[in-house]
Structure 1
Amino acid sequence: MSPESYCNGMGAIKGLSFMDANNLEGTLPPEISLLGHSLQFLIFNRQLELRGGIPTEIGHLTKLTELILSTTGLSGTLPTEFGLLRVLDYLVIAHNEMVFGTIPTELGNLSNLTRFQLVKSNLTGSFPKEFLKLKQLEVFYLDNSPGLDTASVLPDVVGNMHQLECLSLVSRTFGEAMPIPSQIGFLRNMSYLMLKNWKIIGTIPAELGGLTKLESLTLPGNSITGTLPEDLFALTHLFSLKLGSNKMEGTLPPDLFSKLSCLQQLHINDNEFIGSIPTEVGLLSSLKKLEMRNTNLSGTIPTEMLALDDLTSLVVANASLSGSIPERLCGKLDPQQLKCFGGQCYQVKSEIPVCQGTSLCGCDCVPCE
């Protein structure tokens, strides 16, 4: 895709967009400040040949509302002059491996910021408390930045940013383990919540059940304990629930399936759940992916699952289930997604798996290449 520029009716450039590996080369010149009277958005995405530092003159683009620096070859530090972009609404700094240093405290001056994403960075130091002044934030992503001390981010964010709709915190390395703060219930606009590998302990708080707009809840790779709380079943708009790789226990309540009827993805793998799969699983008419591997679930796969017309992925490796996969259910599944046994990935040999008379750990499978 070639670079794009957008002009207003007077011929002034209001936006520059360099997207999808169009091989832009060289450095970002300080003369970019000459566009300060008109430029509203500046986007560099997948431009690994764009090198050199981020010019401080970018702070003169005072009409800028959108700044995206994603997957570039830019290096050096983030300019403190970013704090001069007072009308900035959307800031993305992602996959820039040669950008280092700390997060400028001046970013706390961006009072109009509604969307902030810092993804896979090599920045270091503490996450600045000045961010707590950004009361208008609706989207906050802080993912895979191992050098940042983000120990206080979760309690600070849920205690202060009550307009949030999307919160994604992935891979925390500093600080002690902590529970999900009960103040999470204040985030009434939340539709997307991810706390992945964030050193979470304790149980799922009842207050989560108050987030009635929530559509996606992702909490894998933590040490969450306890059973599935009844309050969770009030989240009737959920289409994705991922609780894998925790320490949860107990049985699967029928309400998980009867009340969360919009679910398309359900991951409860690598937990300590026991008991059988409730027959109510057949009520999840939109379910596409069901992952239950490495659990203590027992019994057979309910025949009610035959009603799941959209199901394409069923993962039951290393569970204590017995019996056979219903033949008609095998015929519905994507052969590449039917993972039958073992700690590795397996594929079904035949185009339509032949499952009658075989056990769950004896399907016609071969290791994936």
Structure 2
Amino acid sequence: MLLKCCFLLHILAFTLLSLNITVFAREEAKALVRWEKSFSPSLCSLKSWSLDNLENLCNWTGIVCSSQFTVSEINLSNCNIDGTLDNLDFTSFPNLTTFNLKDNNFIGSIPSSIGSLSKLTFLDLSNNSFEGIIPPAIGRLTELKHISFSNNQLNGIVPYEIGNLQKVQFLDFGWNYLGNGGWSKFRSMPSLSHLSLSNNNFTSGFPVFVPKCLNLTYLDLSANLFTGQIPESLFSNLGKLEVLDLHSNLITGYLPQSLTNLSKLTTFDVGNNSLSGNIFLGSVPYWTTLEVLSLWGNYFTGEIPSEIGGLTNLKYLQLYINDFSGSIPPKIGNLSYLTKLDLSFNHLSGPITPTIGNLSNLEFLRLDRNNLAGEIPFEIGKLKLLESLDLSENRLSGPLPTWISNLRRLEELYLTENKFSGKIPWDVLPTSLRKLWLFNNSFEGPISSTIGNISNISFLLLCSNKLTGQIPSSICNLSSLEFLHLSNNILEGTIPECLGNFSFLRVLRLNANRFQSLTPRTFAKDCAIEYLNLNSNQLEGTLPQSITNCQYLQFLDLGNNYVQDYFPSWTETLPKLRVIILRSNRFHGTIPATKMKFPFPKLQIFDISHNEFGGRLPMRYLKNFKSMKNVKENGTQTSDWYTDSQESMTLVFKGSEFQVVKILKSFTAIDLSNNRFCGNISDSIGKISSLRYLNLSHNSLTGHIPTSIGYLTVLESLDLSSNHLTGEIPEPLTTLTFLSVLNISHNYLVGRIPQSGGQFPTFENSSFMGNSGLCGYPLTKKCEDDEKQELPQEVHHDDGGDGILDGMTWQSVLMGYGFGTLFGIVLGHFILIKWPNLYRMFF
């Protein structure tokens, strides 16, 4: 009887438990279905999520149940789900231990109700688009061992309640917009082994709790704004560290000797900070586990210690952008596992140590921007795995060695700005080459027909050498070419027609040679050229209209040739053209009126000077240049054709050539000088409101100077000299506060030179000479009503011939913009990154 009662009680208990489990399961299922209805379609099929399929809840996609048949895991990682957490009732899952939404498209905030998941041990919301703050309620999840919110858009501070997670082993809040937390309130986390706060907005000193986490093996605080020195306790306490990444902060000071206490390190990266002093490696045997040593972008000085040869497990050694001097230590050849060696941007001198040839696993070698001299040691030819070799900007000399053929995997070879000479051994160049940069050397001789063997080449830069002869027809085999630079050589003959048919060619620069024939005549319909420069050759003939097939063209320079043609009005349809230079040719005829509302929609620089154009000024063109009106943006615009070509455009100042490195977005210039234009200057010139440079000199223009020029409020250079202009100088010109260059000499102007304001009192005699009817300062001829007027004491001038600005062209103005802007950018970057305290104090 007793046994029967016990059996009935067991049955009753099991029934009650089953009923209880069913109730829990139904509540969990309802919560999941309600949440799923807010999703958009995803990669993971959630058709199983249905109340009609309740009995299979534990087999729903991404759902795992515990032994009590309640949901213990929700894992929807890598499902590409668009949704939020707004519709998920966390209180419905009291037994949840794993919540994984990694690699989806969730948006919105992380709700505080997530703190109700008291049994949660694994929480991963990384690689989504969550925003807002990290809720302090996370600190209630005291069973957590793994938490990752990385790669979201979270902001605010890290709540100090996170320090309550005493069991957490893995914590990653990297790649957000988080700021300083209440570090002083943080408790140490004794179980923490992996900590990443990288790529956030943390400032000030190191989080004080970090050196107290004695079990840390991985620490990444990179890409923040941490300042001050690395705390000594970091090196003395964290002896288990294997990865220490502090790169791209504002850290100062020296590397302490206690650094060698971290005997288990495999990665040490403090690159891009403001550390200084010598490197102390101490007892190198304690660092035998080190695989990555990255000290780039600091101020380390002295010689590279020879002890570095004892780091025999190194795979990456990055010491570039420092102040290291002396020679490359021969013991560096002991690093037989090294795959990447970068010592560029230092002050290393002497020859390249031949022991580098012992680095049989080396794939990437950069020694550029140093003072290395001598020839390239033949031992480098033993590096059979080498893919990239950069020895640019040194003092290396001798021929390009023939053993280069041994480097069968070489894809990139940079030898620019050295003293290499002799003929290029075209027949031994590795066929694997994709980038060959040999410019600014003294290579000579013809380009061999065997150039066609390097058929994978995409970047070929041979400019500024002494190459002679013609471009061989075999260059047509290089169908993958994107950048071709042969400028500043002694090449002649015909430009191969095939260059107009290459599908990938973006930059074609053949200027400063002796080419005669204006080819290619045909540009393919899929033409990708963005930059075409044939300046300073001996080209004759007419322009091919098929250039209009190059719809990406931004820069067209055919200046300083013998082209005989009418104005190519068909170029007005090119949608991206920013610069057109036709100066110093034999163009002739009148410029027809355009029928387009906005011809040349992106044009910034229009230079057709020194030709034989006649008729009236093309005012319909000028006043409708859309990109020369109401330009608001500043700064510089660097196109890819500059970034990879190292050259932009040639400018002329006082007869000398200069290279402008960047073109300002807001720089605009019109140069129609030295032609045969006649008639009046229309008042509509004032509509080109963002014009900065205007040169109409040396024509046959008549009439008055339009008062509307006073509307060109950003005008900086105005040259109307050597025309037949009459009347007085308009008073509104004195309101041009940016005007720094003015030349209205050699006309028939009359009256007093206005002095009411602006820049006029600073202009010298040369700006006004050759106008017999003008009087007043700065001319020595006084006006009738001010015979007793004295010259202003604060302004000095030269009554004689050429002023310091005489002959200044729009190119020189642009040169000043380019170099001034570049200097400003470099100086600003230097102060912000290297001297942050000075930057803050200044502002």
User: What is the TM-score of this pair, normalised by structure 2?
Assistant: 0.38
| Partner SS state of residue 24, structure 1 | strand
Deviation (angstroms), 1:280: 0.7
Q: How does 1:183-332 map to 2 (within 5 A)?
A: 183-233=450-500, 235-255=502-522, 257-258=523-524, 261-322=527-588, 323-324=590-591, 328-329=598-599, 331-332=601-602
Deviation (angstroms), 1:135: 4.1
Indicate conservation of the 8 Å contact 1:132/1:157, yes or no. Answer: no
1:151 partner amino acid: P
Q: How does 1:14-93 map to 2 (within 5 A)?
A: 14-19=267-272, 22-31=273-282, 33=284, 34-40=286-292, 42-45=294-297, 47=298, 49-93=299-343
* 1:172 matches 2:172: no
2:592 and 2:384 mapped to 1: Cα distance?
51
Structure 1 residue corresponding to 2:354, chosen from 102, 105, 116: 105
Indicate conservation of the 8 Å contact 1:151/1:172, yes or no. Answer: no
| Partner SS state of residue 323, structure 2 | strand
1:360 and 1:209 mapped to 2: Cα distance?
44
Deviation (angstroms), 1:234: 5.2
Deviation (angstroms), 1:76: 0.4
* Alpha-carbon displacement from aligned partner over 1:129-177 (angstroms, at most 9, x marks no partner): 33333344443444333x211422574586153322212123225xx62
Deviation (angstroms), 1:233: 4.3
2:305 and 2:444 mapped to 1: Cα distance?
39
Deviation (angstroms), 1:26: 0.7
| Partner SS state of residue 103, structure 1 | coil
User: What is the TM-score of this pair, normalised by structure 1?
Assistant: 0.81
1:326 and 1:72 mapped to 2: Cα distance?
58
1:87 and 1:298 mapped to 2: Cα distance?
62
1:325 and 1:143 mapped to 2: Cα distance?
49
RMSD of aligned Cα (Å): 3.7
1:200 and 1:165 mapped to 2: Cα distance?
21
Query: Which residue number in structure 2 is paired with residue 152 of structure 1?
Result: 400
Task: Give percent identity, aligned residues only.
Answer: 26
Mark the structure with the bigger radius of gyration: 2
| Partner SS state of residue 241, structure 1 | strand
Q: Per the alignment, do residues 63 and 272 of structure 1 end up closer, same or farther by CA in structure 2, a change over 3 Å counting?
A: farther
1:232 and 1:32 mapped to 2: Cα distance?
59
1:302 and 1:231 mapped to 2: Cα distance?
23
Deviating more after overlay: 102-111 vs 282-291? 102-111
* 1:94 matches 2:355: no
1:212 and 1:236 mapped to 2: Cα distance?
7
1:333 partner amino acid: L
The answer to which structure has the higher helix fraction is 2
Indicate conservation of the 8 Å contact 1:99/1:121, yes or no. Answer: yes
| Partner SS state of residue 100, structure 1 | strand
2:455 and 2:331 mapped to 1: Cα distance?
33
| Partner SS state of residue 226, structure 1 | strand
Q: Per the alignment, do residues 74 and 162 of structure 1 end up closer, same or farther by CA in structure 2, a change over 3 Å counting?
A: same
Q: Per the alignment, do residues 294 and 117 of structure 1 end up closer, same or farther by CA in structure 2, a change over 3 Å counting?
A: farther
1:139 partner amino acid: S
Q: Per the alignment, do residues 183 and 59 of structure 1 end up closer, same or farther by CA in structure 2, a change over 3 Å counting?
A: farther
Query: Which residue number in structure 1 is paired with residue 243 of structure 2?
Result: 7
1:280 partner amino acid: S
Indicate conservation of the 8 Å contact 2:322/2:345, yes or no. Answer: yes
Q: Per the alignment, do residues 112 and 79 of structure 1 end up closer, same or farther by CA in structure 2, a change over 3 Å counting?
A: same
Deviation (angstroms), 1:287: 0.9
Indicate conservation of the 8 Å contact 1:298/1:319, yes or no. Answer: yes
1:239 and 1:249 mapped to 2: Cα distance?
23
* Alpha-carbon displacement from aligned partner over 1:271-323 (angstroms, at most 9, x marks no partner): 22111211111110111112222222231342221221111122333333345
Deviation (angstroms), 1:198: 2.8
Indicate conservation of the 8 Å contact 2:534/2:557, yes or no. Answer: yes
| Partner SS state of residue 123, structure 1 | strand
Indicate conservation of the 8 Å contact 1:258/1:283, yes or no. Answer: yes
Query: Which residue number in structure 2 is paired with residue 128 of structure 1?
Result: 377
* Alpha-carbon displacement from aligned partner over 1:173-198 (angstroms, at most 9, x marks no partner): 5xx62223433322232221211223
Query: Which residue number in structure 1 is paired with residue 430 of structure 2?
Result: 161
Indicate conservation of the 8 Å contact 2:573/2:600, yes or no. Answer: no
| Partner SS state of residue 196, structure 1 | coil
- Count of residue correspondences: 356
1:32 and 1:352 mapped to 2: Cα distance?
65
Indicate conservation of the 8 Å contact 1:206/1:232, yes or no. Answer: no
The answer to which structure has the higher strand fraction is 1
Deviating more after overlay: 276-285 vs 106-115? 106-115
Any unmatched runs of 5+ in structure 1? none
* Alpha-carbon displacement from aligned partner over 1:92-119 (angstroms, at most 9, x marks no partner): 44332x3110112222333443444443
Indicate conservation of the 8 Å contact 1:142/1:170, yes or no. Answer: no
Q: Per the alignment, do residues 114 and 167 of structure 1 end up closer, same or farther by CA in structure 2, a change over 3 Å counting?
A: farther
1:311 and 1:51 mapped to 2: Cα distance?
47
1:308 partner amino acid: L
1:325 and 1:68 mapped to 2: Cα distance?
60
Q: Per the alignment, do residues 128 and 11 of structure 1 end up closer, same or farther by CA in structure 2, a change over 3 Å counting?
A: closer
2:275 partner amino acid: L
Deviation (angstroms), 1:83: 2.8
2:485 partner amino acid: T
1:206 and 1:123 mapped to 2: Cα distance?
37
